Amino acid sequence: MRDLYPVRAGNLASRVFGGEAVVMNPADSTLFNLNETATAIWLAADGKTTLRQIVEREICPAWDIDAETALEDAETFARELAAHSILLISTESAKS
């Protein structure tokens, strides 16, 4: 599987409350509430870090879960957010 580089869409409003991100997409007025795991991925999605690195660095140590299972869940989550245009996924780093 190729590495995926998620990055937060730039036109959103967001705030973290008690460890959970609330995200508003002003284009369609949709409000999202991310749980703590999703929030950790969301906050780390800078376009330069792969989803695998995010999972290994942010998810596995905090939630005591094996990397492959977590990566599978994270990819599902990332594609779901991408479908709502609040996360963009690239196969190339923003650096390149």
Q: What are the residues binding another protein (CB under 8 A)?
A: 10-15, 17-18, 22, 24, 26-31, 33
Q: Considering the complex, what minimum distance in angstroms separates the CB of residue 46 from another protein?
A: 15
Q: Is 86 exposed, middle or buried (0-12, 13-18, 19+ CB in 10 A)?
A: buried
Q: Considering the complex, what minimum distance in angstroms separates the CB of residue 2 from another protein?
A: 30
Nearer to another protein, 27 or 94 (CB): 27
Nearer to another protein, 22 or 89 (CB): 22
- Indicate the residue type of 22: V
Helix, strand, or coil here: 20? strand
Q: Considering the complex, what minimum distance in angstroms separates the CB of residue 86 from another protein?
A: 12
Helix, strand, or coil here: 89? strand
Contact of 24 with 31, CB cutoff 8 Å: yes
Nearer to another protein, 32 or 93 (CB): 32
